[in-house]
Chains A and B, each alone.
Chain A
């Protein structure tokens, strides 16, 4: 037995230097594990965002860091009337199976997405398409000036429709090709050497999923992951103390807002909405509740959008709120608000999946309590359905995606038009409706910006919502990771520039 063990040890010792010398002549493979916070059950690009995030597929246009649209698989586009469009498809691009990207393959891919995903059909509103070489002619159902922006949508990404298994192994034009996919766990990728914009610096990437924030933190601490999306904010100090880790915090395209139910006679009064808006302590929400991982909101959009108006300085605090309550016809005595001698009791609804909202609600409840107003907080399941169908609530918390594709018309349409799917406050303002309808028909960018600015000014004047903060997206990554960029849009994560230093 001892002899056998000695033989094994001896053999191992003899073989080691040889293996070592072989390895020394080879470049170590550059590998990285990226850990995301939502799991994908399919990687069909027409149904899921992961293939775009993972650099497997690409769209015709993309958003840059300033949330402006830029050419990607389409090099240029034009339309005179906002309905008839001509797109030039980039030449010299191949799918990961070597097949050339043409206008015809783009057409087939878009047709597939429209057929498969009713949401894409609504996003694109395409009446007909015609392909000729590298030129794609598109006719939309009606004048649709923001059509190129809508092509940023990840579900419009281009794939080879003739390739087998698009839901497990889609063939796109991106820098990484799918090696294997395990639903809900990980997507394994390898470099596509013939990528049109230069082969990726990484040989292999694992795009993994884990919905538990603490488990994601453990993964980066144990070295199981190199980049972790949205680690727990409460562990900021722990991550900062680790000199092997780097933190990136970027303001997102979401805005946390307080909704007023304007179907209630109470909130039809602008001054009452202004009173509640003044009660919100945004700095406290940002610093004390969100640990500084947010930006105080002036309006729905981040200030760097070209159409954001100069908002007048807003006064906040109990004094200011009392002033507006008085203006709204409420009695104010000894700092307490009453209506016809009776104290106010209102229902504030919220939901649990945004952890900060129940605490935001308690902060507002506390501010209101000081003015003698009772806010009864209710946490609701199926929140959007509840807001749409229930009539008993007065105030609500919500966090819409403000400009998912860089254009403002999406947000204005869904949040303010009477039949908009996110118009929870049941807002119906004739002037605002007119501005949005006009915007939807306007092609000229300067004119569009002017109309959006007017709409935002109107929203601010009427205080239809109280915009609270823009939350940040937090990413933690190992110091050996190079060229990581935390984008505002959350669409583009694995790029051909992403790199790692050898372990």
Chain B
């Protein structure tokens, strides 16, 4: 156990180091000028020489490797720097926005599960029946409707016409309904088909036939054997989905003026806020790495076959 944990830790640090190196180089090599943004050259009378002086003050004229070295030495001391946009520590900016993002992610997952699990299960239990046809149509619709359009449709219906939910902002549970529906419904479309095919695959396995021949009841077979077996691809996919939800759903956050991380980072990219972008990449990298570990452990738990293949822990 300690060996596995040590291996994971080494993997984690190596991953973070490589990610920091690649992302730093990528950000610096991308076109765009932080100094021009910072000085607001479009409304301040400046010369290009003055812009250059500011660039030197900020150390942006140094070779990339020197800049990276300086950044790394601060990072080792757990200092991610200060945002150019807000002049607040990067870590504080991320923590401030994280609760809103987490809350929206959770409510979106509730919508996702609330729609995808019953629809996917019913489709698998009654293939080619009307419920399967309905779920197929809904899944295709959900997958093909862009989230921004679904968001605007929901606003048009629930805010403009019926005045049930607020069209934007945050602060109450009511504010979460439309963005959660937008995110949850678009993601649910994929899961409905995944759950259906995975369940159908499980139901056709030999061990299910064996269970039936032993006289085990249909419900028991479905819930205890087929469901558990079919969870592997769903859990794997779920890990990826949670990562992308936490990464921020920019379009949804923009339409509903929701104070999440995604929109903030897009603005940071637009403003060439290098410390903010770099800090965010590492933070998300660490979270996604953690999610992978959790996903692996969960998959191992629900599927003993995989657990045994990977060393029988």
Contacts and interface: CB of A to CB of B under 8 A. Distances in A.
A118 to B, nearest CB: 6
Most buried by B among A153, A185, A186, A409: A185
A167 interface: yes
Contacts of B264: 41, 183-184
A221 B167 CA distance: 10
A122 B159 contact: no
Given A182-B170, A384-B41, A419 B49 contact: yes
Contact of A39 (B39, B88, B160, B263): B263
B175 to A, nearest CB: 10
A9 interface: no
Contacts of A223: 163
A422 B41 contact: yes
Interface stretch (B18-26, B136-144, B251-259): B251-259
Contacts of B267: 39, 41, 184
Given A122-B39, A185-B169, A215 B258 contact: no
Contacts of A128: none
B88 A419 contact: no
Contact of B44 (A122, A182, A186): A122
B67 interface: no
Contacts of A384: 33, 36, 41-42
B87 A215 contact: no
Interface in B260-306: 263-264, 267
A165 to B, nearest CB: 11
A153 B86 CA distance: 18
B257 A119 contact: no
B64 interface: no
B38 interface: yes
B155 A42 contact: no
Interface in A183-202: 183-186
B31 A420 contact: no
A167 B256 CA distance: 24
A141 interface: no
A241 to B, nearest CB: 14
A215 B259 contact: no
A183 B100 CA distance: 11
A401 B31 CA distance: 23
B263 A184 contact: yes
B168 interface: yes
Nearest to B84: A47
Interface string A367-392: 00000000000000110111010000
A318 interface: no
Given A185-B169, A214-B152, A218-B167, A41 B85 contact: yes
Contact of A385 (B33, B42, B46, B263): B33
Contacts of A404: 43
Interface in A213-260: 214-215, 218-219, 221-224
A421 interface: yes
A236 B160 CA distance: 17
Nearest to A423: B48
A122 B46 CA distance: 7
Contact of A208 (B33, B163, B168, B255): B168
B249 to A, nearest CB: 13
A274 B255 CA distance: 44
A439 B44 CA distance: 17
B204 interface: no
B32 A401 contact: no
Contact of A210 (B33, B41, B257): B257
A184 B255 CA distance: 12
Contacts of A420: 46-48
B156 interface: yes
B102 to A, nearest CB: 15
A413 B45 contact: yes
Contact of B156 (A42, A218, A417): A218
B48 A224 contact: no
A410 interface: yes
B212 interface: no
B166 interface: yes
Contacts of B258: 185
Interface in A380-428: 381-382, 384-386, 388, 400-401, 404, 409-410, 413-414, 417, 419-422
Contact of A215 (B40, B45, B168): B168
A116 interface: yes
A439 to B, nearest CB: 12
Contacts of B86: 41-42, 44, 47, 167, 183
A16 B160 CA distance: 29
B167 A215 contact: yes
B197 interface: no
A184 B259 contact: yes
Interface string B194-229: 000000000000000000000000000000000000
B45 A42 contact: no
B87 A218 contact: no
B74 interface: no
A209 interface: yes
Nearest to A414: B45
B96 interface: yes
Interface string A27-39: 0000000000001
Contacts of A422: 41-42
25 contacts: A39-B267, A41-B267, A44-B86, A47-B85, A47-B87, A118-B39, A119-B39, A122-B50, A182-B170, A184-B257, A185-B169, A186-B169, A208-B257, A209-B257, A210-B254, A212-B254, A215-B151, A215-B152, A215-B155, A224-B159, A385-B31, A385-B32, A385-B36, A410-B45, A414-B46
Interface of B: 31-33, 36, 38-51, 54, 57, 85-88, 96-97, 148, 151-152, 155-156, 159-160, 163, 166-171, 253-259, 263-264, 267
Given A41-B86, A218-B152, 13 more contacts: A118-B38, A119-B40, A119-B44, A167-B87, A183-B259, A184-B253, A214-B255, A218-B167, A382-B32, A384-B33, A413-B45, A420-B47, A421-B41
